[in-house]
Structures are given as C-alpha cells and as structure tokens.
Structure 1
Amino acid sequence: MKFSRSTLSTVVTVVAGLVLLAALPSAVVDTFETGRIYLFSHQFLDDLPQRFTGPGRMRFILQPAVAVFLGIRGGRIDAQTGRLPYLYALLTGADDRKALLKSGLAAVRDLVAMSIVFDVIAQFLIYGRVYPGAAVVLGPVLICLPYAMARALSLRAMRLLR
C-alpha cells in the first residue's frame, strides 16, 4: 500500500493533535492544583535551560536547520515567480497573502507537527509530565521563525545574484 505525501502529512498532523489531546487532562489538573498556567509561569522560564541539555536537545539544531532548508527552497521559488519577499508580503497585505500563507504552512506543517510531538516526548522524559501549551509554542517557534527568515533572505540573495 502506497501513501501520498498529503496522506502522510495528514497522519503526522493528526498524531500531533492526538498527543496534545492526550496531554490536555494532566495540564488541566496541574492548573487547578497549582493555580497557574505553566506556559505563563516562572517554572516555564526556569525549565527552559533543561530543554537545551536534556533528551531531545538535538531538535534545537535539526528542526531549525530543516526549516532553513525549506525556507531557502521557498525563497528560490519566490525569486523565480517574481513574488515579493515572504514576510513583507504577509505583513503588508499583498494580494497573494492567502496563497503565501498557504504555501508557507504547507511547507512547514509536517515539521511543526513533528516538533510538537518531539517536544511532548522530551517534556515527558525530562519532567515526567507534559505541558501541551509549551509544546504548541516552542515547536512552531523553532520552525516558523527560521523558515520565514531563510525564505526572505534567500529571495534577496537570488535577486542580488541576477
């Protein structure tokens, strides 16, 4: 049985959603017991250094590196099609904002979903519990920022080389 890329993307996204859904009850219990939301607490900031040294620390290198690669690929496509720089077009309300957002999300969807799953696994290994809010924030930050910056910079570089 052969799966298409969109089917695999959907499976990865569904798995990330299920992992977050499974972690939600313990996060709600933690919020009621402690009276704080982990993502907005001092404990979250205190726990950040452990993420860089604990299990899964390689994701802080690999995920942004893959996002940069995808951003460069997207920037080359933007240069070939004559589009505005990615972030500029998104922020200024260019006519093709919807198409740009869709292409950017399609490019990083799997990475974001996998980064959420990796963050959940790392949290479980490091802390013995899972905070889904932190996974939803940290995963996309590791992917979306490097992707958007690489896409814009590679577009600029391609235009300068021409």
Structure 2
Amino acid sequence: MSDMAIQEFVSRTWDMLLGRVGGPFTLRFVVQPSVAVAFAIRAGLRDARKNRPPYLWALVMNPATRRDLLREGWRDIRNVFIIALVLDAIYVLIVHRWVYPGQTLLVAVVLAIVPYLLIRGPVARLIYWLRRG
C-alpha cells in the first residue's frame, strides 16, 4: 500500500468517525458514556467499601489479580459495550451501507470502556479519602 493510499484511508476513516457525532443516533454519545460512568461509580463505591486499590492501577500493576479484575469490570460494562457495538453497526449501515468492524469496535470502546476505566478508580479514592477525613 502506498503512502498516498494510507493517507487516504486514514483521512476517510477519521472523517467517518467524526461524522458519527452529528449523524443519526447522536444521543448515544451522551447516554452510553453516562451509563458507563454510573456503573463505574457503583463499582468505585464497592471498591472503596472493600478498601481496594484504584481499579486501573490494580489492573496495570498487579498481575495476580488482573484476571479477576477484568472479569469483574467486564460484568459491569459488557451490556453497555454490546449496545454501543450494535448501535454503531446500525448507524454505519444506515449512513454508509456497510459495516466497518474496526471503526465500530473503536467507537464502542470509547463510549463504554474508556469512561468506565477513567472513573472507577478516582471514585474509589475519593470515597476512601472522604471516609478518612
């Protein structure tokens, strides 16, 4: 693949990803991350009660508990992730008449998993600090 073809592919992919924000199903860009954050808050409160370390930190730094933490996190977020996949596939079919699995996967990760990972640990730490102080 030539440099020009790669640049065209990246440019087209980027345009398609940005086009999702203003197209049909735009509300999902608010609702799905909000639901993921709600699940992260609930899990963060659970972590604080059990006096666990921040979730993302424990995932990265503690290989002994990584598998269990991933399973627990997936149980919390899987439905939001699956709905994000389905809605994005429907959107792409409506707008582009084709499904782009890589883009759909990226959108689902950004809408469901990223907010969960970013919020769960800080919520646990905040609750822990509030209880101590």
**Same-fold call, TM > 0.5?**
yes
Q: Please name the residue that 2:105 is paired with.
A: 136
Task: Report how far residue 94 of structure 1 moved.
Answer: 4.8
Structure 1, 72-81 or 129-138: larger mean CA deviation: 129-138
Alpha-carbon separation, structure 1, partners of 2:15 and 2:42: 36
For the pair 1:51 / 2:20, whether they are aligned, the reply is: yes
- Within a 5 Å distance, the mapping from 1:112-151 to structure 2 comes to 112-151=81-120
Alpha-carbon separation, structure 2, partners of 1:86 and 1:156: 10
Indicate which of 43, 48, 54 corresponds to 1:85. 54
Contact 2:40 2:120 in 1 (8 A): yes
- Percent identity of the aligned residues? 35
Q: Please name the residue that 2:34 is paired with.
A: 65
Task: Report how far residue 142 of structure 1 moved.
Answer: 1.2
Query: Normalized against structure 2, the TM-score is what?
Result: 0.87
Deviations along 1:27-81, whole A, 9 cap, x unmatched?
Answer: xxxxxxxx87x9x632111222210011011111101000000000000000111
Q: Unmatched 5+ residue regions in structure 1?
A: 1-34
Letter of the structure 2 residue corresponding to residue 101 of structure 1: L
Q: Unmatched 5+ residue regions in structure 2?
A: none
Alpha-carbon separation, structure 1, partners of 2:24 and 2:94: 7
Structure 1, 120-129 or 40-49: larger mean CA deviation: 40-49
Alpha-carbon separation, structure 1, partners of 2:18 and 2:101: 18
Number of aligned pairs?
126
Contact 2:51 2:128 in 1 (8 A): no
Across the aligned residues of Structure 1 and Structure 2, the Cα RMSD in angstroms comes to 1.7
Alpha-carbon separation, structure 2, partners of 1:96 and 1:80: 18
Q: Please name the residue that 2:70 is paired with.
A: 101
Task: For residue 41 of structure 1, give the secondary structure of its aligned residue in structure 2.
Answer: helix
**Misfit runs of 4+, over 6 Å:** none
Indicate which of 121, 125, 128 corresponds to 1:156. 125
Task: For residue 99 of structure 2, give the secondary structure of its aligned residue in structure 1.
Answer: coil
Query: Normalized against structure 1, the TM-score is what?
Result: 0.72
Alpha-carbon separation, structure 1, partners of 2:71 and 2:64: 13
